[in-house]
């Protein structure tokens, strides 16, 4: 019988991102929020993912969530584990990796952060995003986790007392057997071993070398190749009930990443009704009236069977104004981010209550998490891939909905177009 794979992901878009890497090769893959409540059917899925939504948490809370989730996966019979993190190491990386090792009473994990299909590569330990060093990429300006260095060993070593080492891509290029020997020789020298990823062929070599490792950490790119070389479980994708399309598609974007910005602008150019949730107003006594106006506009168009998009303010000037207003009221950058995402979730929830919408496109990890939490979604089946790392999924809880939960920094300029077509055709 194949090993049940247990994955802990630090946000819901990342959970779906790694989930589709297995699901598209016919592994039954399901995602559940933390704390895990068993909503599985008679048979467990091949891949069981717990989303801790811990990227913005304090370090101690993130550790506790990952520790508890790993223990829970272990009691459910998982024998192989993956700690899915941001593809550029944002968040509580060290604490979460430590938590998984501590929970499993282990002292070694392989880390693969490269995801070439989404522009993430690692050379000599330096991480690149679409050809730019991480410290020179758009993530340098992340409002919560600005990334000011590119060396992965240094980034992780600053967050853990365990020793971190690197395997250079020149060793990877010598093949899986040589790489496996190198990994085995490094076990006595370090607890975390980061492996360079030059391109997709690097991942193919790495997957063959690490397919039997108990603990793997990092981004989802390696999972695509692992799914091809590991023994698949017996359950397949199972029978998925797709809800009938009842109305237009509701899109909500809360990410400040340039990819999402350009995707929103593309929809404006194509004539989709687009409405802005003006973030500075959220810190004024006009908040309730502004949100109600947004909801009314969305409902009107959706009830006319039109697709519609609502997004939070996404220009640098307005974002900076929002941060200044929030700071003046005692908010941190993290709490400002959560205020915006929770307000957007309120708009989505109220719109759904007044329409028959059951197709959602959500852009941004915090936006996706806030909406799913507000809607009471306690389980998802990962379904079909639209673009690399960007799948659709089906919610377990009634009323059943089809969703696309998009990482803010992923996707082509016309991804929203593809996602809406996918949601309406299936």
Tell me: the pLDDT tens digits for 209-249? Answer: 999 999 999 999 999 999 999 977 555 545 577 889 989 99
Contacts of 32-41 with CB under 8 Å at 24 or more apart are 32/378, 32/379, 32/380, 33/372, 33/373, 33/377, 33/378, 34/65, 34/68, 34/69, 35/68, 35/69, 35/72, 36/69, 36/72, 37/378, 39/378, 39/379, 39/396, 41/238
Average pLDDT score over the chain: 94
- Quick check: 41 pLDDT over 80? no
Which residue intervals of the chain bear CATH 3.40.980.20? 250-425
Q: What is the mean pLDDT of residues 318-331?
A: 94
Confidence of residue 1 (pLDDT cuts 50, 70, 90): very low
| pLDDT 10s digits, 147-182 | 999 999 999 999 999 999 999 999 999 999 999 999
pLDDT of 34 over the 60 cut: yes
Look at residue 334 in the predicted model and tell me its pLDDT.
Answer: 92
Give 79-117 pLDDT, tens digit per residue.
Answer: 999 999 999 999 999 999 999 999 999 999 999 999 999
Confidence (pLDDT) at 193 = 98
Edge-to-edge strand order for the sheet containing 120-123?
Answer: 120-123, 126-129, 132-133
Confidence band, pLDDT 50/70/90 cuts, at residue 328: very high
- Pair type for strands 380-387 and 29-33: antiparallel
Q: Where in the chain is the domain with CATH 3.40.50.10840?
A: 4-229
- For residues 273 and 309, the answer to whether their CB atoms sit within 8 Å is yes
Domain spanning 4-229: which superfamily? Putative sugar-binding, N-terminal domain (3.40.50.10840)
User: Residue 391: pLDDT above 90?
Assistant: yes
* Alpha carbon of residue 138 to chain centroid: 17
- The pLDDT of residue 242: 84
Q: State the architecture of 250-425 in CATH terms.
A: 3-Layer(aba) Sandwich (3.40)
**Distance (Å, whole) CA 57 – CA 92:** 8
């Amino acid at each position: 019988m194949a090993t049940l794979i247990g994955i802990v992901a630090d946000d819901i878009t990342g959970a779906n991102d790694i989930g589709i890497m297995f699901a598209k090769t016919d592994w039954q893959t399901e995602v559940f929020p933390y704390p895990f409540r068993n909503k599985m059917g008679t048979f467990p899925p091949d891949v069981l993912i717990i989303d801790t939504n811990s990227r913005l948490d304090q370090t101690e809370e993130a550790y506790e969530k990952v520790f508890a989730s790993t223990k829970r996966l272990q009691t459910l019979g998982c024998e192989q584990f993956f700690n899915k993190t941001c593809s550029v190491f944002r968040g509580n990386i060290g604490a979460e990796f430590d938590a998984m090792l501590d929970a499993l009473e282990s002292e070694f994990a392989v880390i693969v952060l490269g995801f070439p299909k989404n522009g993430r590569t690692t050379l000599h330990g330096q991480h690149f995003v679409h050809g730019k060093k991480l410290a020179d990429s758009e993530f340098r300006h992340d409002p919560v986790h600005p990334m000011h260095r590119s060396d992965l060993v240094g980034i992780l070593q600053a967050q853990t007392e365990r020793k971190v080492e690197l395997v250079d891509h020149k060793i990877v290029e010598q093949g899986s057997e040589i790489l496996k020997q190198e990994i085995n020789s490094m076990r006595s020298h370090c607890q975390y071993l980061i492996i360079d990823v030059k391109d997709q062929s690097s991942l193919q070599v790495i997957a063959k070398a690490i397919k039997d490792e108990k603990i793997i950490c990092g981004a989802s790119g390696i999972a695509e190749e692992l799914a091809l070389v590991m023994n698949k479980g017996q359950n397949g994708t199972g029978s998925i009930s797709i809800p009938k399309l009842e109305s237009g598609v509701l899109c909500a974007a809360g990410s400040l990443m340039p990819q999402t910005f350009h995707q929103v602008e593309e929809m404006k150019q194509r004539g989709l009704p687009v409405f802005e949730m003006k973030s500075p107003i959220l810190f004024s006594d006009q908040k309730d009236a502004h949100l109600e106006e947004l909801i009314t506009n969305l409902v009107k168009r959706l009830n006319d069977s039109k697709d519609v998009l609502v997004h939070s303010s996404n220009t640098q000037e307005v974002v900076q104004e929002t941060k200044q207003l929030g700071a003046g009221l005692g908010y941190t950058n993290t709490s400002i981010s959560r205020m915006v995402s929770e307000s957007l979730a309120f708009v989505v929830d109220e719109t759904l209550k007044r329409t028959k919408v059951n197709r959602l496109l959500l852009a941004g990890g915090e936006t996706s998490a806030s909406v799913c939490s507000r809607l009471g979604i306690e389980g998802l089946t990962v379904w079909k891939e639209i673009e690399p790392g960007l799948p659709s999924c089906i919610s377990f809880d009634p009323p059943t909905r089809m969703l696309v939960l998009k990482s803010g920094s992923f996707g082509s300029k016309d991804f929203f177009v593809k996602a809406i077509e996918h949601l309406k055709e299936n």
